[in-house]
């Protein structure tokens, strides 16, 4: 993407690719991701590696739960990516390859690979570790989310104590040369916002269900025969 591309240009590209109305609950997420991806695409040293891809897909998928219509979720993600010079399919493939590559391994093996600068690691992780050692490596908060998702994958799924998960992910991040303060801040903010979003989605679903029940009662009452 050309250096002259502005945030406004990226937004125009996005709305051209996704002209549908975005429900209010998700507009802020879309706007923040769009601006963030635009800025990253112009940042020297930034590479959308597999860890970034895992973090971005994790954020999008987690924060768009409940999005309606469901079948438009991936179209929304595709528009976000294409507007900022990324490929939604490429990102998802990278994220899936990273998870698949570490599925048969544990954190100790990751520590060993970190010590050897990725030597012997599965190819997707090897590229991530080698990239993090570059002098011009540009860190994004999405790398922090990707680390959490990676450690969660090693631990076997979602049933993990959040604080313990963050500590383990931070430990791995520090071994990669990432700053502890940034990792702690970004992981904590992600977890906090995710909890708030889950509550908002639950409230929205309850409201929609209540409105539906009320309409059904009104419809039933109007159809009842007059005696």
- pTM given for the model: 0.86
Give the pLDDT confidence score for residue 2 in this predicted structure.
47
Greater model confidence, 154 or 11: 11
Mean pLDDT of 125-142: 91
Tokens 């490429």 sit on residue = 90
Establish how many alpha carbons lie within 13 A of residue 184's alpha carbon, considering only the half-sphere containing its beta carbon: 5
Tokens of 6: 């502005």
* Residue 80, CA distances (Å) to 28, 37, 56, 109 in order: 13, 8, 11, 35
The average confidence (pLDDT) of the chain is 87
Which residues have CB under 8 Å from 47's CB, separation 6+?
A: 131, 137, 138
The dihedral over CA atoms of 166, 195, 97, 49, expressed in degrees to the nearest 10, equals -70
Domain boundaries along the sequence of the chain:
7-218
Tell me the per-residue pLDDT of 202-211, one tens digit each, with 9 for 90 and over.
Answer: 776 776 677 7
Per-residue confidence band for 28, with pLDDT thresholds at 50, 70 and 90: very high
Considering only residues 130 and 196, tell me which one the structure prediction assigns the higher pLDDT. Answer: 130
């Amino acid at each position: 993407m050309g250096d002259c591309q502005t945030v406004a240009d990226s937004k125009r590209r996005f709305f051209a690719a996704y002209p549908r109305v975005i429900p209010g609950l998700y507009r802020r997420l879309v706007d923040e991701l769009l601006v963030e991806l635009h800025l990253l695409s112009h940042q020297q040293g930034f590479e959308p590696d597999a860890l970034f891809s895992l973090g971005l897909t994790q954020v999008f998928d987690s924060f768009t739960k409940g999005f309606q219509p469901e079948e438009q979720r991936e179209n929304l993600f595709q528009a976000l990516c294409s507007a900022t010079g990324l490929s939604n399919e490429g990102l998802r493939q990278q994220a899936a390859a990273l998870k698949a590559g570490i599925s048969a391994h544990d954190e100790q093996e990751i520590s060993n690979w970190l010590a050897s600068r990725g030597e012997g690691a599965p190819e997707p992780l090897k590229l991530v570790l080698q990239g993090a050692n570059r002098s011009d490596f540009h860190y994004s908060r999405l790398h922090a989310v990707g680390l959490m998702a990676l450690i969660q994958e090693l631990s076997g799924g979602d049933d993990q104590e959040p604080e313990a998960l963050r500590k383990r992910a931070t430990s791995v991040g520090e071994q990669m040369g990432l700053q502890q303060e940034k990792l702690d801040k970004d992981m904590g903010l992600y977890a906090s916002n995710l909890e708030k979003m889950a509550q908002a989605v639950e409230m929205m679903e309850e409201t929609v269900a209540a409105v539906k029940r009320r309409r059904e009662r009104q419809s039933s009452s109007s159809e009842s025969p007059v005696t």
